[in-house]
Amino acid sequence: MCVRLYLVQHGEAKSETEDLERSLTIRGEEETRKISGAAKRLGIRPSRIYHSGKKRAEQTAGIIAGAFGLSVQLGQGLNPNDDVRPWVERISGEPEDLMIVGHLPFLEKLASFLVCGDEGAKAVVFRYSAIVCLEKKEFGGWSVDRIIKPESV
């Protein structure tokens, strides 16, 4: 059985001048709903969905979780500039599929570290509301399985 990690950059958010909490825009909500439906149709089923606690990530996680009938959990250490190593350790021992909804550059660094062993490698290009699926290889490394973008579903 292979373990998958789904990384999602939050949906498009309002600017700080428009909304200090940076809630999702209408487009951000729509794209996240669209990608959630596609994920469900494709058989993506994380056991848990974590978010950073920032409003835009929590809203994105909530929309996705609603499509799967799951609840969301606050994940400590998922802010844009947090160190990825605690999550690398946590993910390494995880026997079930997980989803993390967060921000750049954190998600970019996490994916690069898992795939290349170098958080600065820029192994994956993220996009608002897209799902980056990483798959744990038999020998313990990770590879990019697929990227699901709102415009391609």
Spell out the residues 6+ positions from residue 81 whose beta carbon is closer than 8 angstroms to its own.
105, 106
Query: What does DSSP assign to residue 137?
Result: -
Superfamily holding 4-152: Phosphoglycerate mutase-like (3.40.50.1240)
pLDDT of 89-127, one tens digit each?
A: 999 888 999 999 999 999 999 999 999 999 999 999 999
pLDDT of residue 15: 97
Q: Quote the pLDDT of residue 1.
A: 62
For 12-40, the pLDDT digits (tens) are 999 999 999 999 999 999 999 999 999 99
For the record, the structure tokens of 67 come out as 């499509």
CA–CA distance from 111 to each of 21, 68, 100, 106 (Å)?
Answer: 26, 24, 11, 9
Place of tokens 């980056």: 132
DSSP state of 101: E
